[in-house]
Amino acid sequence: EQHDCEKDCVAEAASQVEIARLSTSNVIEKHKAYLSRGLFGGLGAGFVALDASRPWMIYWIIHAQKLLGTELSKEETQRCVDTLIYCQHSGFGGGPQQMAHCAPTYAAVLALCELGHPEAVDREALYQFFLKVKEPGSGGFRLHVDGEVDVRGTYTVIAVASLMNMLTSQLTIGVAEYVRSCQSYEGGFGGEPGSEAHGGYTFCAVATLRLLNEPIDRVSDLERWLCRRQMAVEGGFQGRTNKLVDVCYSFWQGCALQLVSEAQNQFDTTPCDPAALVKYILFCSQSSAGGFRDKPTTRPDYYHTCYCLSGLDLMHDPQSQRISPVFNILKKNVPSLAPTNIQ
Q: Is 80 a catalytic residue?
A: no
- Give CA separation, 106 vs 16, 98, 233, in Å: 36, 15, 35
Active-site residue (options: 198, 229, 279, 295): 198
Catalytic residue among 246, 272, 284, 302: 246
Is 198 a residue of the active site? yes
Q: In DSSP terms, which residues pair with 286 in a beta bridge?
A: 292
User: Looking at 106, 249, 302, 303, which residue is catalytic?
Assistant: 249
Catalytic annotation present for 248: yes
Answer for the pair 339, 165: CB distance below 8 angstroms, yes or no. Answer: yes
Annotated active-site residue in 248, 255, 306, 308: 248
User: Catalytic: 306?
Assistant: no
Catalytic residue among 30, 34, 66, 294: 294
Q: How far is CA 88 from CA 52, 118, 188, 254, 327, in A?
A: 13, 13, 34, 32, 20
Which residue is catalytic, options 301, 303, 307, 313?
301
Q: Which of 31, 152, 180, 240 is catalytic?
A: 240
217 catalytic? Reply is: no
* 246: annotated active-site residue: yes
DSSP letters of 259-302? HHHHHTT--S--SS-HHHHHHIIIIIIB-TTSSB-SSTTS--BH
Residue 127 appears among annotated catalytic residues: no
| Cα(297)–Cα(313) distance, integer angstroms | 24
Which is nearest to 258 in space by CA: 289, 266, 67?
266
Catalytic residue status for 89:
no
| Ordered DSSP codes for 19-36 | HHHS-HHHHHHHHHHHHH
Question: Which ranges of the chain does DSSP label H, i.e. alpha helix?
Answer: 2-15, 17-21, 24-40, 54-68, 74-85, 102-114, 123-133, 151-163, 169-172, 175-181, 199-211, 219-227, 249-263, 274-279, 302-314
Active site residue 243: yes
- Active site residue: 32, 79, 117, 243, which one? 243
Of 304, 306, 307, 313, the active-site residue reads 304
Residues labelled catalytic: 198, 240, 243, 246, 248-249, 294, 301, 304
